[in-house]
């Protein structure tokens, strides 16, 4: 329990951290993690003073170090509390039946819990059921059997309208092939995700612009997907996934179509998102180096979690 709390505190804003530190000083409440964060905050300030314009990039690197420290603690010191799991799968199975073909078990009796704010890598060979697992968790497909509880709601009990709202408000998807709408600009691709909300057009566009700025595409907003590089398209896709402040982001091979440099940027972006918005992030990947950035790695083979 204490590890979970530590991790969450680690993702609070600077002000909250300072407040916690003040509390620590006055109450004598002590954790190694908070001390680490304190030193990191001091380091950030020094780096910003010294490097000015480039400070953000360096701070990102520091953020990564911070994340590594926190995740290491989580891995070393204990397990999450399942009752607080934002994602809970029990006995989840999915069977695909094609005409004239024998049925294929994509998932077999999968049990999995993921707590809020966790960044989890789902890793496994091709055809192991990784993407199917992600689709079940994101309400993109219906399981053959078993239950999916997301954000304390049973997906199977939701009607079509509720599922649509769930996809819009609770989760965000990032796909390997980006899946941007080709005849919409970057800005429109992001703002279209907000069309189901009560925001008016101006508000949607303003929010989309803000998100694109956040992912470093403020000068590429009016470009069509075909005019953007793979890495840029994936960043648009991430901005789209963030549009409605989702609690969970599902990323299916998000770096699968990118070179190593672009991949690194994307992972760094996920890290920052997780830290800034306390978003739970599930990444399906082949790439073990990406898995190292995550709090936890779930290995899947032949439809079963190993």
Partner 1 sequence: METVIRGARNVKRKPVRSIGVIIIIGFSLAIFLTSSIVASSIEAQAAALEDSLGREIIITSSDVSFDRSASIDEDILNLTNNISTIESVQTFVTDIDRSGINEVLAQGGPREPGALRAALRFISGQNLSSELEGFVSEELVLVNGRMLNDSDTGSNNVLLGVDSALANGILVGDSIQLNGFSLNVVGLVSGDVFQTNATILMSVETAQIITDTSGFDKVVVTIESIELIDDVMNILKSEYGDELTIQTASEQEGDNIAQSIDTIGGNADLGAMAALFASMLVVGFIMVIITKERVNEIGVLKAIGLPNTKIVTQFLSESIFMASLGFFVCIIITLVAGPMMQTMLIESGSDDSSTSEQGSSPQFSPGQILNPTTESSSMDSITSLEFSVDAKSIVTSLGLTVVIGVIGALYPIMGALKMQPAQALRYE
The backbone torsions φ and ψ at residue 103, rounded to the nearest 5 degrees and listed phi first, read -60, 145
Q: Does 151 bind partner 1 (CB under 8 A)?
A: no
Which lies closer to partner 1 via its Cβ, residue 61 or residue 196?
A: 196
Site track 4-23 with partner 1 (rule: CB under 8 A), x = hit? --------------------
| Alpha-carbon span 43 to 51, nearest angstrom | 12
Taking CA atoms, 22 is separated from 26, 29, 31, 147, 198, in Å, by 6, 10, 13, 44, 40
184 forms part of the interface with partner 1 (CB under 8 A): yes
Contact flag: residue 183 with partner 1 (CB under 8 A):
yes
Asked if 245 and 178 touch (Cβ cutoff 8 Å), the reply is no
Nearer to partner 1, 6 or 180 (CB): 180
Q: Does 142 bind partner 1 (CB under 8 A)?
A: yes
Residue 186 contacts partner 1 per CB under 8 A = no
Q: Judge residue 198's burial from the number of C-beta atoms within 10 Å of its C-beta, 0-12 exposed, 13-18 middle, 19 or more buried.
A: exposed
CB of 23 to partner 1, least distance (A): 39
Among 11, 88, 240, 247, binds partner 1 (CB under 8 A): 240
Task: For the beta carbon of residue 154, count every other beta carbon within 10 angstroms.
Answer: 11
| Contact of 42 with 25, CB cutoff 8 Å | no
Q: Does 169 bind partner 1 (CB under 8 A)?
A: yes
The count of chain residues that interact with partner 1, using the rule CB under 8 A, is 32
Q: What is the Cα–Cα distance from 235 to 215, expressed in whole angstroms?
A: 6
Position among 193, 221, 273, 281 found at the interface with partner 1 (CB under 8 A): 193
Q: How many CB atoms lie within 10 A of CB 195?
A: 11
Q: How far is the CB of 119 from partner 1 (least distance, A)?
A: 21
Which residues here bind partner 1, judged by CB under 8 A? 135, 138-142, 161, 164-169, 172-173, 175, 179-184, 192-193, 195-196, 224, 226, 240-241, 243-244
């Amino acid at each position: 329990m204490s590890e979970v709390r530590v991790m969450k505190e680690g993702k609070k804003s600077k002000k909250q951290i300072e407040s916690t530190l003040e509390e620590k000083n006055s109450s004598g409440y002590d954790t190694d993690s908070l001390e680490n964060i304190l030193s990191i905050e001091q380091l950030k300030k020094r780096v910003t003073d010294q490097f000015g314009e480039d400070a953000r990039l360096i701070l990102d690197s520091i953020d990564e170090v911070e994340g590594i420290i926190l995740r290491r603690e989580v891995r070393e010191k204990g397990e999450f509390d399942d009752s607080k799991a934002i994602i809970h799968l029990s006995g989840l199975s999915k069977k695909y039946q094609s005409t004239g073909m024998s049925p294929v078990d994509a998932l077999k009796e999968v049990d999995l819990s993921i707590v809020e704010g966790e960044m989890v890598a789902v890793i496994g060979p091709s055809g192991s059921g990784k993407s199917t697992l992600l689709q079940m968790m994101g309400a993109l497909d219906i399981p053959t059997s078993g239950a999916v509880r997301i954000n304390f709601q049973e997906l199977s009990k939701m009607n079509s309208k509720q599922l649509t709202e769930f996809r819009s408000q609770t989760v965000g998807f990032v796909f390997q092939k980006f899946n941007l709408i080709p005849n919409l600009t970057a800005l429109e691709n992001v703002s279209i995700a907000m069309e189901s909300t009560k925001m008016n057009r101006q508000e949607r566009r303003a929010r989309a612009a803000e998100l694109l700025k956040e992912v470093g595409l403020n000068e590429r907003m009016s470009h069509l997907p075909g005019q953007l590089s793979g890495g840029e398209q994936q960043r648009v896709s991430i901005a789209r996934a963030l549009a409605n402040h989702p609690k969970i982001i599902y990323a299916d091979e998000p770096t699968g179509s990118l070179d190593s440099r672009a991949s690194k940027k994307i992972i760094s972006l996920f890290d920052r998102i997780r830290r800034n918005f306390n978003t739970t992030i599930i990444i399906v990947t082949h790439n073990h180096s990406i898995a190292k950035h995550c709090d936890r790695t779930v290995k899947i083979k032949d439809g079963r979690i190993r």
